[in-house]
Amino acid sequence: MGIIAWIVLGLCAGLIANMLIPGRRSQGLFVTCVIGICGALLGGWLATKLFHVVTLHGFFNLSTWLTAIAGAAILLVAYHMVTSRGSGRSVRSGRSRSLRRARR
């Protein structure tokens, strides 16, 4: 597959993986697409290295899409785990703002 096909596959895989993962997501469309492209590459690489399966037969092959979606989902979950650590601060600051408003 060519580089354009990888980019399109990664974009679509990132969007599909984003819909499959439950929960609230705070990243934008651009980050989702970049994670999808990286996930498609990661999924294809892991499939060939770990399982000795060549899944990159073509753009319209089901195994290629499943591998790309799985790789994108893994990276999206990892991204959410890393970025969720800082979410506690925004909740506290939101509470303090509401308390300040209530005192007025």
47-64 pLDDT tens trace = 888 877 665 567 778 888
pLDDT category of residue 92 using cuts at 50, 70 and 90? very low
What pLDDT sits at residue 75?
Answer: 92
For 59, the token pair is: 């753009």
Say what angle helices 29-50 and 3-20 make with each other, to 10 degrees.
100
For 49, the token pair is: 């290295």
Closest to 25 measured CA to CA, from 81, 80, 87 = 80
CA dihedral of residues 30, 61, 43, 72 (deg, nearest 10): 30
